[in-house]
Structure 1
Amino acid sequence: MDIGWESLTLLFFSPIFLLCMIVEFRILKRQGDKDYSLKELICNFSLAGLHQGADVIATLLLMPFFLWLFQFRLFDIGLTPLTLFTVVILQDFFYYWFHRASHHIHWLWVSHIAHHSSERMNFTTAFRQSLTYPISGMWLFWTPLILIGFPPNLVILVVALNLGFQFFVHTRVVSKLGWIEKVFNTPSHHRVHHARNPEYIDRNFAGVLIIWDKIFGTFVEERKDIDIDYGIPKPINSWNPFVATFHQWKTMLSLALSRSNISFKTRISYLFGAPEIADNAEIKKTPPSTNYQ
């Protein structure tokens, strides 16, 4: 598997990302909105760097497994416009299920929570990614594509393009986009996803196509009468990238490995049950939410 695909994709998108952040910053500043914070900017870019480094290492380590798996493919798929279109659609479908599972299985949520832990919503929020995704097993969701017969390097490229697209939905300065809202994930749809309002929690898991949420019953429209409150129910109140990365891992493992007299089934539920099971079991509660600066 060629890790150069992902690096080249990110290199291509980087100037576009930077331009979007500058334009967004100027718009928000003109509106008197202090949504950009230097401390958070450093935190978000640190998380992105750690995530990218972990991804490169994980790809190198997993490469033999992916190539071994590819020999059991069901079909020999050539590179044509139709196969490219097909792998893009299928990867987005599997991304939807990865993303949905990441909100409902604690083992996956402990990695994904870093992305949701900001109480702001701007383009830099897209860079809040966890270096522990390879440990929690994000890559497992792409293995069906390899078994179907799509070359591993093509799968990695499509994953990178999917994640690159998602940068553009992390903003408050873009309103609804007409007919595009019916088919594609948009800033409006993704603002709902990042909200901790009861009406919006665990909705709109789309990567590129919002149709998956509409098909599987997880879609909610952004409403004008609801002021979105961004973040997670128990804020971390820290700009430390390692706190953002590992705080929920600490919670999960401390509960699962606790010396208290609890059943094996309960320990497993702390690892692979709903995140709420572990949250409700915590003895020490997180301090009330504050709008940290």
Structure 2
Amino acid sequence: MESLTKLVLAFTGVVVVVSLIEAVVLSRMKRAATPFAWYEVWISLFDLAGRRLLSLLPISVATPVFSFVYDHRIFTVDINSALMVFALFIGMEFCYYWYHRASHRVRFFWATHAVHHSPNQLTLSTAYRLGLTGKLTGSTLFFAPLVWLGVKPEVVLFALFINLMYQGWLHTTYIPRLGWFEYVFNTPSSHRVHHASNVSYLDANYGGVLIVFDRLFGTYVEECADEPCRYGLVTPTTSHNPFIVEFEHWATLIRDVVKAKSAWTAINHVIQPPGWLPDGGGETTEELRRGREQSSRTCRG
């Protein structure tokens, strides 16, 4: 685990340096219509520093759960061949897909994940704005099935790190579509759609390294040249205060639960998608799409 921690720190340092170089380049480009927002980078750095400090505290849900599940595993799996590495890779992708999908479709998980989607510009610094409360929500439980099958917890965490490491380069707007690569792998184009708040782009492209599970489960949406991505949340976060960015969605969730007229309504505020309201007049993805006239979309490039 100590070697994994060192690897994470080293890679994070590289990503931060590269993201700052990108920020300098983008800020000096003549883009008057969309001036570079340095405050978005500072908020991402605040988030990263905060998570590093919190990692020093023994408050992770994953550690005791992984330990319990591994003690009750049904097999003991050694990753000692190319076939086993491939099987672990596919298993990790499958678990990551459902973790990521739940992070968008269950408000409890969205309260943390919304922080990652809060930047109104998409740059490499977005990659390390992940939300301070991730260790407390138990989102790593989505990867417990791999441990239950017999993969050592540290191996699962290393595989997850590799998955996230790949995703760093996806947070860019200047890399074009990549031809055949788009059919199998997650790319900047697919991930731009994922970060877009356009109604037709919402809740799409959840894959980590691969995009095949999105194609299999019907959540793949292609980036269209005639519909530019609008980044950020449906209701944009405009605050420059990192504490507001980190906790505003938790605050509204707690408010809705407290004001709920019944226990069942309170529970639904937690487990339903973001934007859900008990009277059906909310702003879930489905309701937003029903409220807008949908025409057939033909992508051009």
TM-score higher than 0.5? yes
Do the aligned partners of residues 59 and 12 (structure 1) sit closer, same or farther apart at CA in structure 2, a change above 3 Å counting?
farther
Letter in 2 for 1:22: I
Instruction: Report the CA distance between 1:274 and its aligned residue.
Output: 1.7
* Mapped pair 1:76 → 2:114: no
8 Å contact 2:60–2:135 — kept in the other structure?
no
Greater CA deviation, 184-193 or 36-45?
36-45
Q: TM-score, normalised by structure 2?
A: 0.85
1:29 is matched with 28
* Mapped pair 1:263 → 2:262: yes
1:289 is matched with none
Do the aligned partners of residues 218 and 6 (structure 1) sit closer, same or farther apart at CA in structure 2, a change above 3 Å counting?
farther
CA distance in 2, matches of 1:92, 1:21: 29
Letter in 1 for 2:211: I
8 Å contact 1:185–1:209 — kept in the other structure?
yes
CA distance in 1, matches of 2:277, 2:146: 32
Do the aligned partners of residues 31 and 109 (structure 1) sit closer, same or farther apart at CA in structure 2, a change above 3 Å counting?
same
Instruction: Report the CA distance between 1:67 and its aligned residue.
Output: 2.2
8 Å contact 2:256–2:266 — kept in the other structure?
yes
1:196 is matched with 197
Q: CA RMSD in A?
A: 2.3
2:173 is matched with 172
CA distance in 1, matches of 2:116, 2:188: 16
CA distance in 1, matches of 2:41, 2:15: 17
Do the aligned partners of residues 58 and 218 (structure 1) sit closer, same or farther apart at CA in structure 2, a change above 3 Å counting?
farther
Q: Which runs of 4+ in 1 moved over 4 A?
A: 58-62, 278-282
Do the aligned partners of residues 172 and 31 (structure 1) sit closer, same or farther apart at CA in structure 2, a change above 3 Å counting?
farther
CA distance in 1, matches of 2:15, 2:258: 45
Q: What secondary structure is seen at the aligned counterpart in 2 of 1:179?
A: helix
CA distance in 2, matches of 1:61, 1:274: 23
* Mapped pair 1:144 → 2:182: no
Letter in 1 for 2:147: I
* Mapped pair 1:49 → 2:63: no
Instruction: Report the CA distance between 1:59 and its aligned residue.
Output: 6.9
Q: TM-score, normalised by structure 1?
A: 0.87
Instruction: Report the CA distance between 1:53 and its aligned residue.
Output: 3.4
Greater CA deviation, 30-39 or 79-88?
30-39
Instruction: Report the CA distance between 1:54 and its aligned residue.
Output: 3.2
CA distance in 1, matches of 2:30, 2:176: 15
8 Å contact 1:142–1:155 — kept in the other structure?
yes
CA distance in 2, matches of 1:52, 1:238: 23
2:17 is matched with 18
Do the aligned partners of residues 7 and 269 (structure 1) sit closer, same or farther apart at CA in structure 2, a change above 3 Å counting?
farther
Instruction: Report the CA distance between 1:142 and its aligned residue.
Output: 1.2
Q: What secondary structure is seen at the aligned counterpart in 1 of 2:199?
A: coil
Letter in 1 for 2:51: H
Q: What secondary structure is seen at the aligned counterpart in 1 of 2:233?
A: coil
Do the aligned partners of residues 20 and 281 (structure 1) sit closer, same or farther apart at CA in structure 2, a change above 3 Å counting?
closer
CA distance in 2, matches of 1:163, 1:35: 28
Q: Deviations over 1:147-206 (max 9, x none)?
A: 011101111111111111111100001011111111110000000011111110111111
Instruction: Report the CA distance between 1:248 and its aligned residue.
Output: 0.6
Q: What secondary structure is seen at the aligned counterpart in 2 of 1:22?
A: helix
Do the aligned partners of residues 277 and 20 (structure 1) sit closer, same or farther apart at CA in structure 2, a change above 3 Å counting?
closer
* Mapped pair 1:124 → 2:125: yes
Q: What secondary structure is seen at the aligned counterpart in 1 of 2:276?
A: helix
Do the aligned partners of residues 174 and 25 (structure 1) sit closer, same or farther apart at CA in structure 2, a change above 3 Å counting?
farther
1:9 is matched with 8
Do the aligned partners of residues 58 and 175 (structure 1) sit closer, same or farther apart at CA in structure 2, a change above 3 Å counting?
farther
Do the aligned partners of residues 212 and 109 (structure 1) sit closer, same or farther apart at CA in structure 2, a change above 3 Å counting?
same
Letter in 1 for 2:41: L
Instruction: Report the CA distance between 1:117 and its aligned residue.
Output: 1.0
Letter in 2 for 1:271: V
User: For 1:200-219, what aligned pairs fall within 5 Å after superposition?
Assistant: 200-219=201-220
Instruction: Report the CA distance between 1:84 and its aligned residue.
Output: 2.2
2:238 is matched with 237
**Identity within the alignment, %:** 33
8 Å contact 1:3–1:59 — kept in the other structure?
no
Do the aligned partners of residues 165 and 57 (structure 1) sit closer, same or farther apart at CA in structure 2, a change above 3 Å counting?
farther
Q: What secondary structure is seen at the aligned counterpart in 2 of 1:199?
A: helix
